[in-house]
Each structure stands twice: as C-alpha cells, then as structure tokens.
Amino acid sequence: MADTPEEHLTEELLDRLLHSAKIETYLDEEHITDRALPDYLNELLDRSGIKRNPLAEKTGMNQTFIYDIFAGKSRPGRNNAIRLAFGLGCDLRETQRLLRLAGVSELYCKQRRDAIIIWCIQNGRDLPATDDELYRMGEDTLVPKD
C-alpha cells in the first residue's frame, strides 16, 4: 500500500484524541475520515496483484457476490470477510481492519475458533490449511462443507 500514508494504531490515535485541546485540531491533524469497505478491499486487491475472478476461486466464493461486495452492494458477513482476507493475503492487522469495516466482530484471541484463525494467519497458512486446522480442532470451518 505504497501510496497510502502509514496508519497509526488505534491506541495511538486514542491517546492523541484524549490529549487534544480541540476536536477540530485532532480531526485535521490526523486526517480522520470514514473509510468504506469497498475502498479498502480495492486497495488490498491492487496491492495483492490478483484479479477478482482468481480471488473468487481462492476464497470459494461466488464471483457475482464478490463483485457486489467490492461495489458496496453487499456485506460479506464474518466468515466471508475472513475468507476475503485470506484470499487477499492480509496480515492480522489488515484482517482486523477488514472485519471492522465489514461491520462484523474482529478476531478475538479468547475465543477458541478465533484463536486458531489468528494463529493460522500469523503462521502464513492459507485458507485450505486454516480450514483443515479448524476441522482438526473440532471447530466450524470458514468454507462450508458440502
């Protein structure tokens, strides 16, 4: 994401907000704007270098559904958002941001299934390997089994 300015951690921004004398100063200095899911997904897609059709294959998702998500016509839901993150090669921070923008809960390390997914992301596992790990550990997979 070369042409996007470095984003600060939420904790850093919260600290700056709490220490701002005026809200306008904080908003102007930090360039705080609402970010839309389609914008972020397109940024990740550009960075990854893959196209939407191969993304559909990598995630096992319907191409039309993927196009609708990227156009802002549909919301992916939590499992599909995680599948997109794997397909786009997201690290944990990017995955959490994608989940937040999708309007679903972030991965939470105190939840067994989420902890497995976090571990898989951190250790470079792809979607099929993550689903194998989830299945092995008795958890619901991300891609529904037939």
Residue 27 inside a domain? The answer is no
Is 99 part of any domain? yes
Residue 47 CB partners (closer than 8 Å, separation 6+): 1, 88
Report residue 59 as tokens: 């995630």
The amino acid at residue 80 is N
DSSP 86-143: HHTT--HHHHHHHHHHTTSPPP-TTSHHHHHHHHHHHTT--HHHHHHHHHHTT---SS
Q: State residue 146's pLDDT score.
A: 66
Give me the pLDDT at residue 5, please.
45
Number of domains making up the chain: 1
Provide the pLDDT for residue 101: 94
- The answer to whether residue 143 is domain-embedded is no
- For 125, the domain range is 35-136
10 part of a folded domain: no
Give me the phi and psi of 120, to 5 degrees please. Answer: -65, -45
* 15 SS3 class: helix
Q: List per-block mean pLDDT (blocks of 10 residues) for the chain, which spans 146 residues.
A: 49 78 73 77 93 92 95 95 97 95 95 97 97 97 88
pLDDT at 44: 95
- 58 is a domain residue: yes
CATH (domain of 62) = 1.10.260
Q: How much is the pLDDT for 25?
A: 73
pLDDT at 75: 94
What is the predicted pLDDT for the residue at 86?
A: 97
pLDDT at site 142: 97
Residue 24 resides in a domain: no
Q: What is the CA radius of gyration of the chain?
A: 17
